[in-house]
Amino acid sequence: MSATLELTRTLIALDSITPRDEGCQELMIARLEDLGFTIERMPFGDVSNFWAHRGHGAPLLCFAGHTDVVPTGPVDQWDSHPFQPVIRNGHLFGRGAADMKASLAAFITASERFVAANPQHKGTLAFLITSDEEGIATDGTVRVVDALEARGDVIDYCIVGEPTSSQQFGDTIKNGRRGSLSGHLIVHGIQGHIAYPHLAKNPVHLAAPALAALAAEVWDHGNEYFPPTSWQISNIHAGTGATNIIPGSCDIKFNFRFSTEHTAETLKDRVHQILDQHGLAYELHWLLSGNPFLTAPGALTDAISSAIHEVAGVEPELNTTGGTSDGRFIKRIARELVEFGPINASIHKLNECVSVDDIEPLSQVYEKTLHKLLG
């Protein structure tokens, strides 16, 4: 059993359902202290975080990730217990196997081999680890980044261990992510008896043309790095449950996944324009989960792409698809940031797994990238 596989199994066995860490970080910290890292534990609220660094000056390369995992779902529907890691049919099964305990283990073993070969490496090697990525993400990476920014720390290269591979190991690197902007729209009408519509105003009827206009809007055409901005309704609710009452309000929740062609403010302005054009009486509450970010091809993308090709024989694609990650917070202080990890087909599902044959190569990719940038 490789050192990376063994550590992955150990981490999976710790049931770190968000925002709990359950000892994962102390396990990592012990290994990093043995390598001479300086450790800063940075807990906020119920969330465990740490920042670790070794070496001096620039360039600073940071491995970033999360020890927390999503809930298991019905345990009796798993083929094996989600926190009892099992190898079956060439795959390691367990909650967090792909998202992202294999990457955490690979960070550690790659660093151990790199430091052994380069005890006086140039620049700084760092870790930024949280237990609040899969949850509400308010006391995790964003708080650590706030603290680092306040003291003027800058990350030159950041590798986030999210599972990015699609069809085969190494085929995809994320060099950016779309922004996420959510809206909670309440359209007001006048409640009344359904047999007397002239004495009421149906907010569902009032809202429908505006929603159709929002759905038909071409927000942008994307660009060379991002697909077009998408607006989607996730929930609509109105009424009391009775069939003879016109509701007094209609409650709509929607989300933008947006490209660098827009800012959150330009999207908000356009939504308000459309709603106002339809003469609606409404309330609209906004939540910005993250702005879009992008790392243009450069030293980091070149180094990790070359490492992937050397290890896996694959030419990776750079893309920005998928959901959000903690990269949206880190990019504020990171000059270049990418995400790279194992195949993501099973993440957040029952029977989450990672191919055993991909675990050690993942560590080798990280190690080779270290040699190229800090060696």
Binding site as annotated, residues: 66, 99, 134, 162, 348
68 is catalytic: yes
How far apart, in whole angstroms, are the C-alpha atoms of residue 93 and residue 221?
A: 40
Q: How many CB atoms lie within 10 A of CB 3?
A: 15
> Which residues, other chains included, contact 301 with Cβ-Cβ below 8 Å and sequence gap of 6+?
173, 175, 295, 318, 336, 338
CA dist 141 and 328 (Å) reads 10
The yes-or-no answer on residue 133 being catalytic is yes
Helix (H) or strand (E) holding 129: strand 124-130
Q: Report d(CA 298, CA 244) in Å as an integer.
A: 63
Which residue of the set 21, 22, 133, 358 is catalytic?
A: 133
Q: What is residue 300's DSSP assignment?
A: H
**Token pair 């993250």 in the structure block, residue:** 290
- Binding-site residues for Zn(2+): 66, 99, 134, 162, 348
**Phi, psi dihedral angles at 60 (to 5 degrees):** -105, 120
For residues 195 and 203, give the distance between their C-alpha atoms in angstroms, rounded to a whole number.
Answer: 16
Residue found under tokens 């490789």: 2
Is residue 194 within 8 A of residue 244, CB to CB? The reply is yes
Catalytic residues: 68, 133
